[in-house]
Amino acid sequence: MIRFFAERSVPANLLFIILLVAGIFFSLTLPVESIPNISLGVVAVYTPWPGASPEDVEKLLTTKIEEQLENLDHVVWIKSFSVQGLSRIHIKFSEDLPESIYDELYLKAQSEVEKIAEELPDDAETSIVELVDFSMIRPTIVVALGGEIPEKSRNEIAKELKESLMQIPGMDKVRIRGEREQRIVVEVDREQAEKYKLSILEIMDVVRKESSTFPGGTMRLKDSEITIRTLSDRRSLLELRKIVLRSYPDGSILRLEDIANISWTYEKWKTIYRVQGAPATFLYCVKEDTQNALTIIPIIKQEVAKFRDKLPVEVYCEFFKDNVLYVNRVLSVLKSNLSLGLVLVFLLLWVCIGTSNALLAVIGIPFAFLCAMIFLSWTGNTLNEMVLVSLVLVSGMVVDDAIIILENMYRHYQETGELLSSAISGASEVFLPVISATATTIAAFLPMLLMTGILGKIMSIVPKTVSITLAASLIEAFLILPNHFTDLGKLFSLKSQKEKVHKSGLFVRLYLGSLQRFLHYRYLATCGFLILFLSGFGLLLWAFPISIILFPSDHHDFWITLKVHENAHIEYTESKVREIEKILNTIPKNEIMNYVVEVGRSMDENYQLILDKNVAQFTVTLNPNRTTQRTTGDIIRSVRQKIAKAQLHGFKSIDVIHTPNGPQQGKPVAVIIRGDSLQKIGEIRDMIKSKLHNIPGVTDIKDDMQASKYQLSIHFRDEELQRYQINRSAVAQTITSALEGSEVSEMNYLGKQYKIYVQYDEDNMVKINDIAKIHLRIPSGNLIRLGDITSLSYKKSMAQIPHHNNKRAITVTANIEKDRNTSLSVNSELQEYLTPLLRKYPGYICEYGGEYEETNRSFRALKIAFLIAMLLVYMILGTQFNSFVQPLIIMSIIPFTIVGVGYGLSIFNLPFTMLTFMSTIGMIGIVVNDSLVLIDFINREVQQHQDSTQAVIIACRKRLRPIILTTLTTVLGLMPLALGIGGSSVTWSPMATAFSWGLSIATILTLYVIPALYMITVDAKSVFMKKKEVCSL
């Protein structure tokens, strides 16, 4: 095949052009996004029940729904929170299922919830069932409509804008948030109702009858039949006001307007949305999976800009959670750094091996990348951050293969002066070593497919992209490169290139001289070098320990999450939000692009939604083009200092943090205590927290049990209930209707249906004792007050009731200082402590792990994958060299390469990240490649020379230039990324730095330690053979 394509330019160039054009086409049509939109394996069920206490929500909603959900398959756990007026349930399915299965499980969960709907309280609202995916956490973009205009006008504008946005091709859905249902409320004056001896239930019954349409049956005529309807529906507020409640013998009439105020209003706030300090309505835009974020977001902005021209001046539009900002920044940083890196690589190759060879080596990178685009498009993937990671990792390997083959073809040309034969023989000579080297690299990456869970799904694109890119580079290197070498060699003079090679003679002589001395004292030199190397790293690690941040964030936004006292109503929380807004307004305008607030709603670092009236969360979007030198971290620290300096009162907590990046990680310590009594669970919780406080290195000890809220309890007096012949359900209905309001009917107004609610005027219900003044009608016809049959008590009660797998539960979490303790040690000590303790609490269980355990499971799979990768590499090398020992010589460099990574991270004070781990695997492929080809050349020279030492030196001289070139090209290519010359990145800099340092140190080991270890094995083999001869005598 090599000879066939080398001798025929047409098929070689046709293959090159076809793949190149196809790659360009698919790269232009490939959807672009920051992260693949995969399902998190979670289905959320929300069931509102206005006015219900946490205990009632738990008993009558949550427990019943949870029991019904037990029919689902593949469930890992079911967690729930019963809070005031809301049941919130999360169902976690196994993370190892195909994406299509989650859609089926979502539909089954929806069906199970519908089955139980009839058994839930009548006044509970319809359950909302949602499949949670990354688009819910990070939508394509969010449009915020803000301004001091009437709420109705803002909502109508939002609906109109939604219709316009949904017309954009490729738009999947647009969700409106911050829109309240408009309704009609009949607010009854309690004192007037008492004056006319009317109960709230009687008023509701009259309004219901007088504003509804009832069927009247059918009437049979002579030759036909007609339907009869009794029309009582009202079409305006005026007609509602004229409803007759009572008629008196003297002819006077009591109308609804005499004792009630009827008006248009909105449902009570569940979440209040604000932008730039003004009320707002949000439109969450989500594109279809096949669409390009970089294409559709500008179209969305154009549509909003056109729509904005028709709006009043006081209405403004802001964008946040803008995917294109992040994607563009990542692409910009990568493009600028890769472009600069390619220029440096080309200049280096031009200096070392000439213009034509430099062009041939560099052109292989875009070719392999474009072939990867074909694969991604064909398999339905997108161009996302993980794909970019893969391409950056593999770029050095693609160049390395080309350099090895080019350098060998060029060496043959120097010896023969014949282009075609040099191309064929040079490529053929290194065919098996390069194939083996590429196979070892692919073998190092492929076991990453064994990673489980969400993390495994996100990371799975890396080995796939790396493998297909390397396969494409082999096609280019063996089928196209020899032909191009021959054709370009005819166009460019190679005499100047020969002169460049001779200029490196001094460096070669210095290396060979030092290598001879190293080999002469190989035992002492190797041991001394390794001891010095490892002890130096130990001292460096002691002085500058390496932190671990698996998913550092480059996002230009951050969160401010706040909490006020538990009994706060949402309007009070909003008032406290305004205090934070004043602080944000002091940040320079060129640093902050905008900020938005969700009052009554927040999200924690593990993407768990928190719905409560006493919480709020800011999303602050920074200007990516800000002129100041302050980083996101600097601005966050500045905001923290301003908040601390302001000495704000009325807050329980204010946290300013980076927006989380990557999948859920959980906490190193997570203990779930399950049982029936929250009091006993609380006792166990307190003992666990006390124990954790006494374990060294354990920090941030928390639990998910919210502080108690004050609750007014109404206690029935049974003897009075019997005396007045009143049932409890009627009393409960009266209380709910009086305080929260009850829907009694609907009114058709201008073609739209609006709900009618009846309740007491809120001004009549401002004191606790006002509850006792609510009136009830008893069977005898008289009115009594609620206080006549009940007693009231005001005390603290549970703000929320958490469940885990259908049992009441509290989760205790904690972080661990890595340099003082480990998760395994702390959890083991905790289990030893709890085992005898739980015997005193029969029926109570402690489970360990949670989200952290799931993440840990992924990393355990990654460790197993690494061991499998090393085994595969050994098998490939063993097959290549037909030896058990030589693969060990080659692989001996791997642990020292990892130490080299540690050197780089420690010196530059950079964290160890997930990308750093993957770059280490990729770097292992490169250093194994260099060692593999070097050993292959040594074996060939040994066959031609009697003296093994001389053979080693000759082989090292031949391989010196390609080894140095592969290292320098990779390091120079990554240097801009590591130093942030073309744009800094906390995500990419640790990876590039680790790669550069590990590879540089590995190169030194390859040039000195590998030859020494080879000679040591020769010595050992010689001693063994001599002993064998002595034994045979």
pLDDT of residue 684: 92
Given a cut of 80, whether residue 303 has pLDDT beyond it is yes
Separation of alpha carbons 328 and 332, rounded Å:
6
* pLDDT mean over 238-266: 89
Separation of alpha carbons 826 and 816, rounded Å:
9
pLDDT of residue 555: 66
Q: What does CATH list as the number for 557-658?
A: 3.30.70.1430
Greatest extent of the chain over all pairs of C-alpha atoms, in Å? 140
pLDDT of residue 300: 92
Given a cut of 60, whether residue 82 has pLDDT beyond it is yes
End-to-end CA distance of the chain: 52
Which is nearest to 156 in space by CA: 315, 373, 337, 356? 315
Separation of alpha carbons 105 and 1029, rounded Å:
71
pLDDT of residue 588: 85
pLDDT of residue 502: 47
| pTM for the whole structure | 0.74
pLDDT of residue 338: 65
* pLDDT mean over 960-969: 80
Given a cut of 70, whether residue 667 has pLDDT beyond it is yes
- The answer to whether 623 and 592 have CB atoms below 8 angstroms apart is yes
pLDDT of residue 571: 92
pLDDT of residue 496: 44
Tens digit of pLDDT for each residue in 170-213? Answer: 898 899 998 888 899 999 998 898 888 898 888 998 888 887 76
What Rg value do the Cα atoms of the chain yield, rounded?
37
Given a cut of 80, whether residue 256 has pLDDT beyond it is yes
- The answer to whether 310 and 15 have CB atoms below 8 angstroms apart is no
* pLDDT mean over 29-39: 74
Tens digit of pLDDT for each residue in 566-621? Answer: 888 899 999 999 999 999 999 888 888 889 999 998 887 766 778 788 899 998 98
Residues 6+ positions from 812 with CB-CB distance below 8 Å:
669, 670, 671, 673, 685, 688, 689, 692, 701, 702, 703
How many CB atoms lie under 10 A from the CB of residue 329? 18
Given a cut of 50, whether residue 639 has pLDDT beyond it is yes
* pLDDT mean over 331-352: 70
The architecture of the domain spanning 36-137 is 2-Layer Sandwich (3.30)
Residues 6+ positions from 642 with CB-CB distance below 8 Å:
583, 586
pLDDT of residue 708: 67
Q: Which of 257-266, 441-450, 976-985 has the highest mean pLDDT?
A: 257-266
pLDDT of residue 499: 46
Topology of 1-35+324-503 in CATH? Answer: Multidrug efflux transporter AcrB transmembrane fold (1.20.1640)
3-state SS assignment for residue 668: coil
pLDDT of residue 501: 46
- H or E element at residue 379: none
Supply the mean pLDDT for the chain.
Answer: 82
Q: What does CATH list as the number for 504-543+883-1033?
A: 1.20.1640.10
* pLDDT mean over 116-130: 88
Given a cut of 60, whether residue 942 has pLDDT beyond it is yes
Of 113-117, 399-403, 867-871, 894-898, which range is least confident? 399-403
pLDDT of residue 528: 85
Domains 504-543+883-1033 and 557-658 share a fold: no
3-state SS assignment for residue 396: helix
Q: What does 287-356 look like in DSSP terms, one character per residue?
A: E-TTS-HHHHHHHHHHHHHHHHTTS-TT-EEEEES-HHHHHHHHHHHHHHHHHHHHHHHHHHHHHHH-HH
3-state SS assignment for residue 274: strand
Half-sphere exposure of 987 (CA within 13 A, CB side): 20
3-state SS assignment for residue 633: helix
The architecture of the domain spanning 669-708+802-854 is 2-Layer Sandwich (3.30)
Tens digit of pLDDT for each residue in 723-748? Answer: 888 888 788 888 888 888 888 888 88
Tens digit of pLDDT for each residue in 488-499? Answer: 766 554 444 444
* pLDDT mean over 13-22: 90
What percent of the chain is predicted at pLDDT more than 70?
A: 88
Domain ranges of the chain: 1-35+324-503, 36-137, 504-543+883-1033, 557-658, 669-708+802-854
Which residue is associated with the tokens 């490529």? Answer: 427
In which band, very low, low, confident or very high, does the pLDDT at 163 lie, cut at 50, 70 and 90?
A: very high
In which band, very low, low, confident or very high, does the pLDDT at 61 lie, cut at 50, 70 and 90?
A: very high
Residues 6+ positions from 402 with CB-CB distance below 8 Å:
360, 361, 364, 473, 476, 477, 481
In which band, very low, low, confident or very high, does the pLDDT at 274 lie, cut at 50, 70 and 90?
A: very high
